[in-house]
A and B are shown apart, each in its own frame.
Chain A
Amino acid sequence: MLRSRWTKGAVFLLCLLPFARLAWRFHTGDLTPNPIEFVTHFTGDWAIRFVVATLAISPLRKLLHLPDLIRFRRMFGLFAFFYATLHFATWFGLDKFFDTHEILADFTKRRFIIAGLVAYLSMVPLALTSTKGWIRRLGGRRWQLLHRLIYVTGIAVVVHYYWLVKSDIRLPVFYGSLVAVLLAYRTAAALWTRRAPAVS
């Protein structure tokens, strides 16, 4: 089923549902008394969810013996970038209204903004080189090395969220635990394969 062309299309549409919901709420004027804040939080929530989903693909492929899950990794990664771009643009354009003076102050003084910027910038080269052509151009090994940047993204988004909340840390800790488990799995797997040849 995972191999079907239809599945990919269906998953793509599912990933667009949050955006559709946001558009609907905009259309019906149901964006709370502080619409810009609502849109910022809404898109940020979905960006972090898709980052976690992207990081989860490789471990789940192996643990569930579902290699075909790989077909969704790029899609999830690009949706993470899509929602992160909306999130960043909302903050930059609507919240700060391109006030470069205040934005620069934020980039240097607010640690949660710095972490968010690191997270976003780390996604840009990944989105740009997500095509088959770029895999060829870079070569599989180098491409893979570059795309380990997603680990930085995963850590930075959680730190961004953790530093942003005022006192209720439950959600940042939840996403942080997921990212920690997913990165720990990779570390353990890497150590295991490195040791394996020495043993044999």
Chain B
Amino acid sequence: MLINKSPDIRYSEVTPKALYFNRRKFLTAIPAAFLGARAFAGTKLPNLAKSSFSTSEAQNSFNDVTHYNNFYEFGVPKDAPARYAQNFKTNPWTLSVEGAVAKPHKYSIDDLMHLAPLEERIYRHRCVEGWSIVVPWAGYSLSALLKQAEPTPKAKFVAFESYYDPGQMPLARQSGLDFPYIEGLRMDEAMHPLTMLTLGMYGETLPPQDGAPVRLTVPWKYGFKSAKSLVKIKLVEKQPPCTWNIANPQEYGFYSNVNPAVPNPRYSQATERRLGEFRRRPTLPFNGYADQVASLYNGMDLRKYY
């Protein structure tokens, strides 16, 4: 079976010495890579700051995280996105921040790369299907972007929209879902420092099958809340519709916080299998982030708001 990386070895630490000392040249190489017609997946992201949010748990292998994906636009089987997303064009790219904001803006990936210092955050990621992984993401708190847009008092929720192009994603129609993929968070959830605007993983820009070039990462919610390949972030007054919630409202609630006490009709949710481990392990409330986020839901019946 697979061999997990030791948790204390970070990508920044394994960067070859020559490259490390050649930093200037390295940095100037990044925009050049961005200019390439193909996706710029796999471009190294140097100098990622460490984050106190990181877990010390063993990371999953890059191979696991890139060959076991739910990205239905590129096919339903877990190995489909790795195969069919390889030529996904992610350059040029525009992420539009709009809605109830004083400063709507269309961002390029270059803009986003320089909007805030990129951090490496090693998060647990728990899928509603009962498996989990540990991934070193690269990015920063979504709040940095939202603050720049200056939300108005009307901004109560944030609606996310993923890219959809039936030409590039011919398998999407077989999935039975409606696209583009849409997701949503409450404003306080979106502003929570753990909520990440993610531009990379394992010290590189995101591979296409993991949501290149920019995605959301909300580590205390089931994985489907972390929408991939974002093109639009809209601040709105009312709770926005979400793809899986539309498809099956009994199973996928708007909140979808990881909760071992609230079973999904088809999965118990009490346990999970960490990829690479044989035995299931108990699932933790809020995926182990209860200390940071449980207070967001004070007074809420989490069985009702699942």
Chain B, range 30-71, C-beta contacts under 8 Å to A: 60, 63-64, 67-68
Contact A106 B174 (CB under 8 A): no
- Please count the residue pairs between chain A and chain B whose beta carbons lie under 8 angstroms apart in the complex: 65
Sorting the interface of chain A by its residue count into under 10, 10 to 19, 20 to 34 or 35 or more gives: 20 to 34
Over the window 92-135 of chain A, the binary record of Cβ atoms lying under 8 Å from chain B Cβ atoms (1 yes, 0 no) is: 00111101001001100111100000000000000000000000
CB distance from A168 to the nearest CB of B (A): 4
CB distance from B232 to the nearest CB of A (A): 23
CB distance from A175 to the nearest CB of B (A): 16
B79 within 8 A of A: yes
Q: Across the interface, which residues of B come within 8 angstroms of A33, CB to CB?
A: 2, 60, 63-64, 67-68, 78, 275-276
A18 within 8 A of B: no
Contact A34 B131 (CB under 8 A): yes
For chain B, the count of residues having a C-beta within 8 Å of the partner chain is: 32
CB distance from B278 to the nearest CB of A (A): 8
Contact flag A110-B265 (CB < 8 Å), given A32-B67, A166-B248, A170-B174: yes
Chain B, range 259-299, C-beta contacts under 8 Å to A: 263, 265-268, 270-271, 273, 275-276, 278-280
B72 within 8 A of A: yes
Contact A32 B268 (CB under 8 A): no
Q: Within the complex, which residue of B1, B129, B280 is in contact with A35, where a contact is CB–CB below 8 Å?
A: B1
Q: Across the interface, which residues of B come within 8 angstroms of A94, CB to CB?
A: 278
Complex Cα distance A2/B66, Å?
47
B177 within 8 A of A: yes
Q: Across the interface, which residues of A come within 8 angstroms of B176, CB to CB?
A: 167-169
B247 within 8 A of A: yes
Contact A168 B174 (CB under 8 A): yes
Chain B, range 57-94, C-beta contacts under 8 Å to A: 60, 63-64, 67-68, 72, 76, 78-79
Which of A's residues lie within 8 Å of B, judged by CB? 29, 32-37, 94-97, 99, 102, 105-106, 109-112, 163-164, 166-170
Given contacts A36-B278, A97-B280, 11 further A-B contacts (CB under 8 A): A29-B1, A33-B60, A34-B131, A35-B1, A36-B273, A109-B265, A110-B265, A110-B268, A167-B72, A167-B175, A167-B247
